Structure 1
Amino acid sequence: MQRHGAILFRGFPLATPSDFEAFAEAMSPGLYGQYGDLPKKEEGKNIYRSTPYPEQKMILFHNESSHLASWPRKQWFFCELPSQTGGATPLVDTREMVRRMPKELAEKFDRTGLQYIRTFNEGFDVDWREFFKTEDRAEVEARCRAAGTDFTWFEDGTLQTRTFCHAIVRHPVTGERVFFNQVQLHHPSSLGTAMHDDLINIFGADRLPRNVLYGDGMPIEDEVMGLISELYETCAVRFPWQRGDVVMLDNMLAAHARDPYTGPRKIVVAMGQMMSRDALEAGTELAS
């Protein structure tokens, strides 16, 4: 796991999502069951359906919850039903991303970190009440403060959060530098010109549903995002899913994505061994 960042389990007798949950629970007791961005899988307690995102669009590379105050160190994907075509889950070694990145850019990311902006616009993406599992604004504010997240309420009741995170961190077990973030998922350049313009027309430049800046508040250049995208694709490893496959990855050593696909596709997700930003900064080591 520490060498490659991910392991494929194939040929195990896992017929159902419940089998998969028991499999993941046996390897990492105490699976995380309070994730706000993914819908729960009906057949289990702490497993999720994959991201509801258009089949014809790629879900870009990211490390799960790396823009939040805590994230899963371990993550599992179970193929309940492979798609007819496409639908791979590409994996990238985040250590290799740092090694291949221009030194000056890596130093800048390391020095400034990132600032993630999320605006919970009504009717677009998940509602803040659903994400935080409460309708109490005071509770939301308290949780944001505890996580070190800045927040703003607009006059129409829309919530916007700003979270400051590292872009490059040291893995708590191996000590290696890893490119740990969600810049592709949050940067406006990933939307394409037409959608980007539409969202600005609807919400305004300051209220885009998601955005990411350098930690000092300066925009991340489109040219930099182009380079990052090229590096991800250069480093990506792909394989065709087979029914019953399980991939276990170290969420800090491996970034993942999802290719476009056709036909029905069912991938189930589990997460465990939660890690907090405070623990990472304190140098707390976890068992591998």
Structure 2
Amino acid sequence: MNTAENWRPLELTPSGTGADATPAGLVEYIGQAGLAELLVREKALVFRGFGVSSGSYDTVADALLPQRLAYVHGNSPRTKVAAVGKNVYTSTEYAPEYQISLHNEMSYAHQWPGRLLFYCDRAPSTGGATPVVDGQLWLESIDPAIREAFAGGVRYTQNLHGGHGLGKSWQDTFETEDRAQVEAFLAGAGADWKWKSDGTLWITQVGPGTLRHPVSGTEVWFNQADQFHVAGLGEDAALLMELMSEDEMPQAASYADGTPIPAEHIIHIQEAGLRHAVDVNWNAGDLLLIDNILVGHGRRPYTGNRRVLVAMSD
């Protein structure tokens, strides 16, 4: 069993598990492994050498994800890949030269997936690892004064355009063209929203700063303040702030009461996570299953035709 200081994902192979080196062998092993308990204990699992292809992915994913979820209210640019399986998406479609900072998927939303399953359809030529971090270690490595500042949570603000503009449209974000359906979703989420005259949907809601896992009780760092805050988004976002106010930005973050988060706090949080991150390098056919509360994830820059797909479940 991993301890906090030397944590890394548990790697499972045919030779290590005694399972056949086939997708069917992996499915059989999953059915016998006590997956739910294993995942909570180890926090992340890497499956290698089972020959999983895009044609066999759906059957394997059914065994690993109890109920695959649509990426509704998802903030990242993705494409749905229906040919591979139900509710399967490309991983975040940012340019390969950029690093994606560590985060827990949809921690800004009122509901988030409990599990994420990554699948390497095509390996990168260089780079492109998925760094993962133990959320408890991340929390403990953040300055206590900053942790205290986040105790009340994070206020996230989004401006989702109606078809033309920066960032994602509300149609892509909610996978619908129906305004009433979006409004019903947001009402259930306890969010505040309004439609602007140009068709933009403005949304604001408060999420947690930290979270306790429902099974283990472990408290972890759990928010996406750095991915919504301009200080965490690089030079391009900083230049954008010279052209528009924070209220007009596609996304922004503050403390729950609206107090601005200092840029140095955002940088400290990102650096603290990266100090403890462990890279998962990809070969075609590999799978990475993570507990989305216990583990944060990101992406290293890469070259080549990398294609990593992701699916989510509760």
TM-score, normalised with respect to structure 2: 0.81
Q: Is 2:72 the partner of 1:28?
A: no
| AA partner of residue 190 (structure 1) | G
Residue 269 of structure 1 is matched in structure 2 by 310
Higher relative contact order (CA 8 A, sep 6+): 1
Separation (CA, whole Å) in 1 of partners of 2:215 and 2:176? 35
Look up the SS of the partner of 2:172 in the other structure. helix
In structure 2, the partner of 1:114 is 154
Query: Aligned partners of 2:172 and 2:145: how far apart in 1?
Result: 40
Residue of 135, 142, 147 corresponding to 2:177: 135
Q: How does 1:246-257 map to 2 (within 5 A)?
A: 246-257=287-298
Match of 2:189 in 1: 147
The corresponding residue for 2:94 is 53
Letter in 2 for 1:13: G
Deviation track 1:66-105 (CA, whole Å, cap 9, x = no partner) reads: 1111111011101111100110100011011111222222
Contact 1:213–1:219 (Cα < 8 Å) also in 2? yes
Which residue does 2:268 correspond to in 1? Answer: 227
What residue is the counterpart of 1:11 in the other structure? Answer: 49
Q: In structure 2, the residue corresponding to 1:256 is in which secondary structure?
A: strand
- Offset at 1:168? 0.5
The structural deviation recorded for 1:60 is 1.3
> What is the rounded CA distance, in whole Å, between the counterparts of 1:246 and 1:197 in structure 2?
37
**Residue type of the alignment partner of 1:223:** E
Q: Distance in 1 between matches of 2:170 and 2:41?
A: 38
Q: 1:169 pairs with 211, 220, 223, which one?
A: 211
Indicate the percent of aligned positions where both proteins have the same amino acid. 36
- CA offsets per residue over residues 114-138 of structure 1, 9 Å max, x none? 0011111333222112222333333
Q: Which amino acid aligns with 2:63?
A: A
| Offset of residue 35 of structure 1 | 3.7
Matched ranges for 1:93-112 at <5 A: 93-110=134-151, 112=152
1:146 maps to a residue whose letter is G
Instruction: Tell me by how many angstroms 1:47 deviates.
Output: 1.2
Q: Which amino acid aligns with 2:153?
A: G
Letter in 2 for 1:49: T
Aligned to 1:237: 278
Segments of structure 1 that go 5 or more residues without pairing to the other structure are: 274-288
Alignment pair present for 1:186 and 2:224: no
The C-alpha deviation readout for 1:124-161, integer Å capped at 9, x for no partner, is: 22211222233333332222111001112222221110
Q: CA deviation at 1:21?
A: 2.4
5+ residue gaps, structure 2, are: 1-38
Partners of 1:98 and 1:216 in 2: how far apart?
A: 22
- Aligned residues of 1:200 and 1:208 also touching (Cα < 8 A): no
Number of positions where the alignment pairs a residue of Structure 1 with one of Structure 2: 270
Partner of 1:87: 128
Aligned-residue CA RMSD in angstroms?
1.7
**Alignment check: 8 A CA contact 2:45 2:290 kept:** yes
Is contact 2:57-2:84 (8 Å) kept?
no
SS of 1:270 mapped into structure 2: strand
Tell me how far 1:34 sits from its aligned partner: 4.7
Q: 4+ residue runs of structure 1 moved beyond 4 angstroms?
A: none
3-state SS of the aligned residue for 2:41? Answer: coil
The secondary structure found in structure 1 opposite 2:112 is strand
Cα separation, 1, equivalents of 2:149 and 2:237: 29
270 and 206 in structure 1: CA distance in 2 versus 1, 3 angstrom threshold: same
Three-state SS of the structure 1 residue aligned to 2:150 is helix
Tell me the secondary structure at the aligned position of residue 238 of structure 1.
strand
